[in-house]
Amino acid sequence: MAVAAAAPTARLSRQTWQFTQDVRIHGSAVVVGPKEGEGPLGSLFDKVYGDMYAGQKTWEEAERAMLEEAISLAISKAKLTSQEVDLILAGDLLNQNITATFSAQTMGVPLMGMYGACSTSMLTLANAAAMVNGGYANYAIAACSSHNATAERQFRYPTEYGGQKPPTAQWTVTGAGAGLVGLGGTGPRVTHATVGKVIDMGVHDPQDMGTAMAPAAVSTLITHFHDTDRQPKDYDLIVTGDLASVGYAIAKNLLEQEGYQLGNVYNDCGLMIFSSDQDVFAGGSGCACSAAVTYSYILDQLQKGFLKRVLVCATGALLSPISTLQGNAIPCIAHAVALEGGGA
């Protein structure tokens, strides 16, 4: 049987999609914990909790409450109800993606669970845009969360143990971010997405995620520039997700070796969300790091016209505690989404 005439394709290359419809973010929200609220972007967040429990009995419930609030706020800011949302694409760092699961249950919206560690922010946004662009959903939510205390006890040691950390370690952001994607409107546009490959450069130290993740970010960024025929100067801002100070310097250096001078255009969400005096080692990390920066500051700047075009390259360290104990290096991935200023 002959293949039917193809729909307007969004595929630019193996890894990069260009969305052919007018895909936009209709509403977004960020809910965070106290330390994030004290950071330089604190005033831009929709809600800041004064403690890590967010009125709940456990840290896991607190993370869930934050994700549910971010999703609800994004929906209401888009002047929609949860019944009008077709799909939630969500993930988090906790085992079995439990925060995303319970949040989708509370909202009563069909769920496609995704996992990309801290790259989940852009993995879900890329897919939400693909689902809307392809006509699979009228409105789709991309969302993710992390919580410093839930992540510490799952990936490292019980926090009560008080283990010391090296300066290469990062501080997992407590919070959640959500974006509601649909066609038309006047919000910031989602124009391209570049899906990453798993890159493992042999780094084994789970207290140095920035070094492990930098090559994955560089791989996805160079692929994006190549596939879109764009240069770094075509963006007003290029951010990586959570390389923090160690990984940021490595990524910048690797990009220069490949002929890409990012200069002042390049920043990292792990450096933007906390100030240097906040005692966060090399900087922020976690799904909520890039989600909080993107769904507050970056969308705000795009909407106000201070930024015209931004590339968010979220980075994820896909390790598990058991794979590390069994001697495996830390496999990493990065997914990038290109955003443009809104307006009619």
Burial of 51 (0-12, 13-18, 19+ CB in 10 A): exposed
- What backbone phi and psi angles, to 5 degrees, belong to 35? -65, -40
d(CA 60, CA 340): 35
Shortest distance (Å) from residue 328 CB to its own copies: 7
Figure out which of the listed residues 4, 51, 162, 259 binds its own copies, where binding follows CB under 8 A.
Answer: 4
Among the listed ranges 54-62, 74-82, 257-265, 296-304, the one in contact with its own copies (CB under 8 A) is 54-62
| Token pair listed for 96 | 């079995």
50 binds its own copies (CB under 8 A): no
Least distance in angstroms from the C-beta of 155 to its own copies: 9
Applying CB under 8 A, which part among 206-214, 228-236, 267-275, 314-322 lies near its own copies?
A: 314-322
Which residue from 41, 75, 199, 246 is in contact with its own copies, where contact means CB under 8 A?
199
* Residue 96 makes contact with its own copies by CB under 8 A: yes
Q: Could you tell me which residues are beta bridge partners of residue 274? A: none
Q: Check: CB of residue 168 under 8 Å from CB of residue 207.
A: yes
Query: Which residues on adjacent β-strands are paired with residue 11?
Result: 17
Main-chain dihedrals φ then ψ at residue 98, nearest 5 degrees: -70, -30
Question: What is the C-alpha to C-alpha distance for residues 17 and 23, in angstroms, rounded to an integer?
Answer: 12
> Among 27, 39, 196, 270, which residue interacts with its own copies (rule: CB under 8 A)?
196
State the DSSP code for 52.
T
81 belongs to the binding site for its own copies (CB under 8 A): no
Question: To the nearest whole angstrom, how small is the minimum distance from the Cβ of residue 186 to its own copies?
Answer: 8
Is the Cβ of residue 27 or residue 196 nearer to its own copies in the bound state? 196
The interface with its own copies within residues 8-37 (CB under 8 A) comprises: 8-11, 14-15, 17, 20-22
Residue 223 CA, distance from chain mean position: 18
Cα–Cα distance, 307 to 285 (Å, whole number): 24
State the binding string over 117-156 for its own copies (x if CB under 8 A, else -). Answer: x-----x---x--xx-xxxxxx---------------x--
